[in-house]
Amino acid sequence: MTKEKLASAFAAVAEKDEKAFVAYIMAGDGGLSSLKEKILHLQEIGVTVVEIGIPFSDPVADGPVIQEAGQRALAQGVTLDKVLKELASFQNEVSIPLVVMTYLNPVYRYGLERFAEDCVKAGISGAIIPDVPLEEEDEIRDPMKRHSLALIRLVTLTSPESRIKNIAQDAEGFIYAVTVNGITGARTTFKENVPSYLKKIKELSPVPVLAGFGVSSSEQAAELGKHCDGVIVGSKIVELFHTGNQEAIREIIPKKAGQTVQAE
């Protein structure tokens, strides 16, 4: 249940000439007991990876939909410790890779080594920690490396090529290519330079490049996927689970590269 599982999942998708689809959910939104049901549903409809958000009081990268989901989870007493224990309780039923998305403060308070150890017990393959810049990641990267967990790096639209090269060097799991200047949340359009931005990262990256932030339909996913290895969808999926319309999630997933299905 380590970063090799991520590599295998992406390789399997590429072999079928398809694009990876990463689905984000907020752990504990709707109750921690719903986490298993959500992950197994996403697994059943064919997502490549599930990204599990850890609720946090100051989620600087998250838009209103995910912020509100985090507040609902926090109101029910959901913590990093409880999420990892819940995941560990059913990890043998999960065949697709899982990654956690959290901020540094909960991890630091939890204990860096303990965090890495418990991620392995929970069937986690890697972590996204958006408030840890490249220059400050060694402290968390070392325990994760010891446990063969991927520390997934982010690239933004404002990153110059020299920084993209530094981020891509020794990248693990996949690179999270942020496609908007701002927080998460559905967008109707993307900047004109997004395709060339994604292509540039792909040229420099030794691992798959996935586009995230703002993706909410199969058309957007397919269009962005032409320029990278897949997409990450968060706010739309969080919204559909919250409204009890999770069956519509499968309609966001493009079936093959360049082929779309009708979006919800």
List, for residues 170-197, the tens digit of each pLDDT value: 999 999 999 876 445 444 445 567 899 9
Whether 141 is covered by a domain: the verdict is yes
Whether 262 is covered by a domain: the verdict is no
Total number of domains constituting the chain? 1
- Residue 216 banded pLDDT, cuts 50, 70, 90: confident
Whether 260 is covered by a domain: the verdict is no
Whether 259 is covered by a domain: the verdict is no
Report the alpha-carbon distance of residue 206 to residue 229 in Å, rounded.
12
- Residue 12 banded pLDDT, cuts 50, 70, 90: very high
Whether 176 is covered by a domain: the verdict is yes
Catalytic machinery residues: 51, 62
What CATH number is given to the structural domain containing 158?
Answer: 3.20.20.70
Residue 48 has pLDDT above 70, yes or no: yes
Whether 257 is covered by a domain: the verdict is no
| Range(s) of the domain holding residue 184 | 3-252
Whether 261 is covered by a domain: the verdict is no
Whether 182 is covered by a domain: the verdict is yes
- Residue 261 banded pLDDT, cuts 50, 70, 90: very low
Segment 10-21 mean pLDDT: 95
